[in-house]
Amino acid sequence: MKRKTLTQFLIEQQRGPAALPSEVRLLIEIVARACKAIGHAVGKGALGGVLGSLESENVQGEVQKKLDVLSNEILLEANEWGGHLAAMASEEMETVHLIPTNYPKGEYLLLFDPLDGSSNIDVNVSIGTIFSVLRAPESARGREITEQDFLQPGSTQVVAGYALYGPQTMLVLTVGTGVFSFTLDREMGAWLLTQENIRIPADTKEFAINMSNMRHWAPPVRRYIDECLAGKTGPRGKDFNMRWIASMVADVHRILNRGGIFMYPWDAREPTKPGKLRLMYEANPMSMLVEQAGGASTNGLQRILDIEPAALHERVSVILGSKNEVERVSQYHMELPPTP
């Protein structure tokens, strides 16, 4: 059976009820080509001289891997010239990246985490690229884009997606009409549609969390995990399995395919920070994908897509996945004393 290519899928979205703007279609294709290039570099590993760390830190204060920097450069260079963007923002850069003056400018904003899960690069565990597309505010027309123009709630996202570099290279995407998955045919060099209208089961027996941080969690999270660990003899009346890859792309991809709950909550080690994951580059795009697949996403007290960002690199607590489990954790946050 002949499979549908990414381009065919996007043209159908352009012609269908979603009326996907042609500029967005072309922008997605450019991002997808960049992800293909990143996947190629990841696949070479030590043969391409891309493993290991640099003697530098990103804006987050994290040591940069060689592939972090390379992936960031690939995405910037690929998207500068297309004419669809007004500006870009990356987890690896302190502020926004303006489109050079010698290229035409569009009305969209692109945000990305160029290589999520980079701590897993050198041990050959699945990693990925996360991206999000916003429309630039009308007030920005005719002037230079600023950080403030990017500070829109996740509910305004036009596109969200990620590329997964694992046993297969995959692209998972939503344009607001459900979640679709494409697999890279390396022989053809084409993204082919392999899953349509992905749905997350409402109930699950799997949770993903870094258990080594258990002593630092707030009471609502401790309560939920304690009940999962109690298994059939506990209040949940069923046994749970724990999964933790330490690569958000890989953990969320598993949840999209078979259900589960992913948690990266606030903890007491840095009490002034609401969480570790970045709202704009990780939480918002993943939350859009999860909600489009029938799941839910919250910081414990508020739907993540409703959060009004205050800063480009704002952090947030993330609880997402199977709807009934996410709602249970949210309920516990309402019932137990708030985090100090």
Name the binding residues: 91, 113, 115-119, 210, 276, 282
Known binding positions for Mg(2+)? 91, 113, 115-116, 282
Quick one: tokens of 295?
Answer: 């799941």
Give the strand order in the sheet containing 318-321.
241-242, 206-208, 261-264, 318-321, 296-298
Rg of the chain on CA atoms, in Å: 20
Known binding positions for substrate? 116-119, 210, 276
**41 touches 71 (CB < 8 A):** yes
* Selection from 162, 158, 194, 153 nearest residue 175 by Cα: 158
DSSP track, 103-141: S---SEEEEEEEEETGGGGGGT--EEEEEEEEEPPGGGT
**23 touches 106 (CB < 8 A):** yes
212 CB-near residues (< 8 Å, 6+ apart)? none
End-to-end CA distance of the chain: 57
CA 131/CA 145 separation, integer angstroms = 19
Give the position of tokens 């450019």: 30
Strands 206-208 and 261-264: parallel
